[in-house]
């Protein structure tokens, strides 16, 4: 049987592991999204001088 203190800790852990974002259930998905954004920025920046050469 868990003590109130333990229950609070479990609650806090569950609260922290949920992202609270509609499309991202866990933090790994958020980190992947950030990495994809980075790749997109780099591709767009690399293309910029070619588009306006």
Partner 1 sequence: MNALDYAVLLISLLSIAAYGVWQTRGKRSLTTYLKGSGNSSWIVIGISVMATQASAVTFLSTPGQGFESGLGFVQNYFGAPFALIIIAAIFLPLFRRLNVYTAYEFLGKRFDAKTRLLGAGLFLLQRGLGAGITIYAPAIVLSTVFGWPLDFTIIASGLVVIVYTVAGGSDAVSLTQKYQIAVIFAGMIAAFVVLIWKLPRDLGLADAMTVAGGLNRLNAVDFSPNLSSRYTFWSGTIGGLFLALSYFGTDQSQVQRYLSSGSLRESRLGLMFNAIFKIPMQFGILLLGTMMFVFYQFEQPPVYFNQAAWTERAASGDAGEFRRIESEFAGVHARKREQIDRWIRAKRDGDSREADRARSLAQQLQQQSEEIRNQAKAMIPQANPSGDEAGRAKPVSDADYVFITFILGYLPHGLIGLLVAAFFAATLSSKSAELNALASTTTIDVYRNLISRRGSDSQYVFASRAFTVLWGAIAISFALFARLAENLIQALNIIGSVFYGPVLALFLVAFFLKWIGGTAIFWAAIAAQLLVIALYFTLDISYLWYNFIGPGACILLAIAIQSVLPRETKPANSQTA
Q: Which chain residues interact with partner 1 by CB under 8 A?
A: 12, 15-16, 18-21, 27, 30-31, 34-35, 37-38, 41-42, 45-46, 48-49, 51-53
d(CA 7, CA 29): 27
Residues 6+ apart with CB under 8 A from 17: 26, 27
Please identify, using beta-carbon distances, which residue of 1 and 22 lies nearer to partner 1: 22
CB of 24 to partner 1, least distance (A): 10
> What is the nearest approach in angstroms of partner 1 to the Cβ of residue 2?
19
Distance from C-alpha of 43 to C-alpha of 27, rounded to nearest angstrom: 25
């Amino acid at each position: 049987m868990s003590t109130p203190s333990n229950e609070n800790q479990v609650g806090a852990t569950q609260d922290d592991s949920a992202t609270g974002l509609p499309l991202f259930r866990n933090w790994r998905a958020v980190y992947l999204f950030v990495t994809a954004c980075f790749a997109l920025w780099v591709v767009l920046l690399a293309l910029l001088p070619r588009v306006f050469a």
